[in-house]
């Protein structure tokens, strides 16, 4: 906690904890970590992986007699400051419980698909007013567009219908996905972000309006095209915290970073081959 306290005053830094899962952290240590964090900052976020795989659910039943999500709600002060990552395998009662808590479900569709974990019960959860965000988790993919596309398409494959995750107050499926993901993501990061208003962080994406996929699009249909019709990046500029970090599709340290990455991968490969 001393390290967290030292970092909490840094500009652009939000301090929180991420005990990996009920499999990795003993119950007493989880309780102590959460209590210590609350003493440091009552609003700090807590992220935990939960109910990602069926085996995890079975193991949790074996040692506790409860499924993971039910156990967590019965033994930890879960509220809007918590992010339950994956939460793939929930009963209807657990789904309703998570939605009513105000906590955010941290969904990672590309990782869940890559690992064959399963599909989050998004239709029921969204219908109950549950809050959510997206993440890349294993970094198999780090594309938010792909995460949102997988999220919607996975539900279509289960339910054999289209446009399942749009809200009644938001007729554009793409815009609805983007706005709710941005709001949930900002909440669990602890930043005033994810929206365009006075006092919020200036985190902005500028689309490449010369891209064919965006031709003739305007308003919310731009987000529909971005998520469902783009097979290449349509992001031209990126602003983070009021500073431009990508201009015309390039980061100023892109060449240096790419060179270091290639060197690191080559060294890993050479070390592996030498064993």
* Strand 104-107 to 131-134 pairing: parallel
> What Å distances lie between residue 107 and 63, 184, 222, CA to CA?
26, 11, 23
DSSP state for residue 210 in the 8-state scheme: T
Catalytic residue, chosen from 47, 49, 70, 86, is 86
**Chain centroid offset of residue 202 CA:** 19
Q: How far apart are the C-alpha atoms of 77 and 222, rounded to whole Å?
A: 40
3-state SS, residue 174: helix
77: Cβ contacts below 8 Å, ≥ 6 apart: 34
Backbone φ and ψ for 148, nearest 5 degrees, come out as -70, -35
86 noted as active-site residue: yes
Catalytic residue, chosen from 137, 180, 203, 224, is 137
What secondary structure, in 3-state letters, does 229-242 show? CCCCCCEEEEEECC
* Strand 235-240 to 46-50 pairing: unpaired
Backbone φ and ψ for 72, nearest 5 degrees, come out as -60, -45
Q: Which residues pair with 243 in a beta bridge?
A: 240
89 noted as active-site residue: no
Residues forming the active site: 86, 137
């Amino acid at each position: 906690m001393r390290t967290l306290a030292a970092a909490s005053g840094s500009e652009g830094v939000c301090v929180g904890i991420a005990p990996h899962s009920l499999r990795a952290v003993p119950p007493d240590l989880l309780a102590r970590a959460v209590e210590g964090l609350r003493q440091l900052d009552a609003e700090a976020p807590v992220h935990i992986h939960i109910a990602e795989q069926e085996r995890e659910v079975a193991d949790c039943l074996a040692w506790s007699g409860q499924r993971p999500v039910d156990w967590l709600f019965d033994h930890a002060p879960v509220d809007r400051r918590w992010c339950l990552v994956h939460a793939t395998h929930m009963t209807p009662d657990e789904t309703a419980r998570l939605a009513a808590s105000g906590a955010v479900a941290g969904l990672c569709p590309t990782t869940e698909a890559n690992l064959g974990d399963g599909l989050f019960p998004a239709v029921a959860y969204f219908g109950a007013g549950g809050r959510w965000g997206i993440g890349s988790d294993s970094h198999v993919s780090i594309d938010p567009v792909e995460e949102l596309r997988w999220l919607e398409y996975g539900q279509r494959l289960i339910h054999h219908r289209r446009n399942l995750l749009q809200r009644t107050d938001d007729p554009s499926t793409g815009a609805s996905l983007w706005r709710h993901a941005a709001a949930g993501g900002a909440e669990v990061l602890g930043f005033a972000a994810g929206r365009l208003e006075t006092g919020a962080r200036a985190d902005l994406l500028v689309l490449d309006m010369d891209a064919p996929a965006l031709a003739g699009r305007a308003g919310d249909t731009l987000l529909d095209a971005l998520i469902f019709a783009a097979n290449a990046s349509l992001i031209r500029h990126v602003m983070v915290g009021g500073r431009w970090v990508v201009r015309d599709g390039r980061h100023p340290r892109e060449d240096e970073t790419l060179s270091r990455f290639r060197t690191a991968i080559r060294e890993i490969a050479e070390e592996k081959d030498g064993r």
